[in-house]
Amino acid sequence: MELNRRTVIAGAAAAGIAATTLGAGSAEAASGGRKPVKELFGKLADGTKVYRWSLENGGTRLRVLNWGGVVQGLEIPDRKGHYANVSLGFDNIDDYVAKTPYFGALIGRYGNRIAKGQFTLDGKSYQLSVNDGDNSLHGGKQGFDKHIWDVEPFTKGSDVGLHLHYTSVDGEMGYPGTLKAKVTYTLTKHGDWRIDYEATTDKATVVNLTSHVYWNLGGEGTGTIEDHELSIAAGRYTPTDSGLIPTGELAKVAGTPFDFRKTKTIGRDIRAGHVQQVQAKGYDHNWVLDKGITAKPEHVATLRDPRSGRTLKIATDQPGLQFYSGNFLDGTLTGTGGHTYRQGDALCLETQHFPDAPNHPNFPSTVLRPGQTYRTSTIHTFGC
């Protein structure tokens, strides 16, 4: 039985349970908003300072870097009120620069893959930065995850959060148009983490922004997520070729390991031997959400760790959800808790438009034109 989260948080405060890795802060602070606190996290090779903001509200504790808008830590309580950091990350900037597989990062200008880094728009062909075999992945070699963002903290009523700004100049990584991006991270009084994305352009371009948090609701570094329970409200998915590029088909999940319409453990079918799983070394696919594009975020997925009782519910207005089961974590990365990350130690649930959409007319369009504003929102609701 899932407990009321506010009841758990209140119990934690009464018991004096404090954060495990945020250092500063108390259980009392966890039950109310706190103005974001800024501190120096490190320096880049050229001396540029990288800062970290820590904020709390409604029992959720969030740490964010201005490098790539990275979520460096996110803490929530379990059913007993004990906190754990449920997102993978590093404790130093050097590892984020040299090693990170997009841990916690903002992704752009185009989340996921574009085949051969090429697309045609209004009769003109564009060649993008290629960084994943022959393909462009997550914006190319220097995507939005590898830049300093301007950060503006805010408090608004009972909410606390950060406005993050980045301007991608015309031609950056091969994309046309100067794109002005704004991403807002908000912690609500109930502990929800909301992401609102906005962008404008001065030339026709394509854009697909998302967040690349790696989740382990048992706590980062605690081992496999194969016992996590997952449901996705999607009757179809987009199969891929050997390069993980969508073939263009919208295949039914019925009768396949990709059917998460009813809750099941991630490990139940992950070794079923389906050709799509063999190619991806697990799950690394886009689910076609039943609701399609909506005017406001609607619930599309629920993740639960039965051991801790922690749950994550995701609502979005986007048409797709990329479920990645941490297939390429190989034990060479050491995270914030001092543990190495191995295959299947975390998963990603990235709300998005479809991969390679610019090359598939039957996919929802990702074209943004001057005078238009790209807007999308995703809400993460935590429970225990």
User: Catalytic positions, please?
Assistant: 212, 350
- Asked whether 218 and 226 are in contact (CB, 8 A), the reply is no
No. of H helices and E strands in the chain? 4, 29
Outline where DSSP puts E strands in 133-220: 136-137, 150-156, 159-168, 179-187, 193-201, 205-206, 210-212
Buried b (16+ CB within 10 A) or exposed e, 222-259: bebbbebbbbbbbbbbbbbeeebbbeeebbebeeebbb
Residues in the chain: 384
- Asked whether 138 and 126 are in contact (CB, 8 A), the reply is no
Q: Quote the CA–CA distance of 180 and 192 in Å, as a whole number.
A: 26
Give the tokens for residue 300: 């599309």
Q: Quote the CA–CA distance of 165 and 182 in Å, as a whole number.
A: 5
- Nearest CA among 21, 30, 113, 33 for reference residue 63: 21
Cα 122 from chain centroid (whole Å):
31
